[in-house]
Amino acid sequence: MNASTANRIVSPEGIAPPLGAYSHGIAAAGPGQWLHIAGQVGVAPDGTLAQGFEAQARQAWANLAAVLHEAGMDARHLVRVGSFLVDPAHLPLLGPVRQPFLGEARPASTVLVVRALARPEWLFEVEATAFRRE
């Protein structure tokens, strides 16, 4: 991705650097296409739910990547990602699962531990916003 089509990382000197593989902000300007990706969970294309946190998280990220691909985008176009976990003990497992999907991309990112998702068997959900300049 060249400089004329890249989204710009915003990292002010007056605040602490990011605590992980993300950016404080991403600036996306100019004509282009926005993609708002609804929350993705660990349900495979055949409708089965992956078993365990890591398997559900991998499937959710794969679903998100499929939506990006269908829109002609990839992880480099992500400007914001929101992840939801129901168990704080799973937090250390999240980075190693998400890293293969993000590669070198560093979207603005929020991780929340919530009491529950829409279905009690869901352990993880991820949503995102992407932008591709024309």
Provide the H-helix boundaries in 1-134: 53-70, 91-102
Give domain status of residue 2, yes or no.
no
Q: Averaged over 35-54, what is the pLDDT?
A: 95
Write down the pLDDT at residue 107. Answer: 95
pLDDT digits over 67-106, tens only?
999 999 999 999 999 999 999 999 999 999 999 999 999 9
- Going by pLDDT thresholds of 50, 70 and 90, the confidence category of residue 31 is confident
Write down the pLDDT at residue 3. Answer: 45
Give domain status of residue 54, yes or no.
yes
Radius of gyration of the chain (CA): 15
Write down the pLDDT at residue 29. Answer: 77
The boundaries of the domain holding residue 19 are 8-133
Give domain status of residue 1, yes or no.
no
Give domain status of residue 3, yes or no.
no
Give domain status of residue 51, yes or no.
yes
- Going by pLDDT thresholds of 50, 70 and 90, the confidence category of residue 9 is confident
- What are the C-alpha distances in Å from 127 to residues 36, 40, 62, 69? 8, 6, 12, 15
Q: Averaged over 100-129, what is the pLDDT?
A: 96
pLDDT surpassing 80 at residue 37:
yes
**Looking at the 3D structure of the chain, how many domains does it have?**
1
Give domain status of residue 88, yes or no.
yes
Instruction: Give me the CATH number covering residue 77.
Output: 3.30.1330.40
Give domain status of residue 32, yes or no.
yes
Write down the pLDDT at residue 1. Answer: 43
Give domain status of residue 75, yes or no.
yes
- Going by pLDDT thresholds of 50, 70 and 90, the confidence category of residue 5 is low
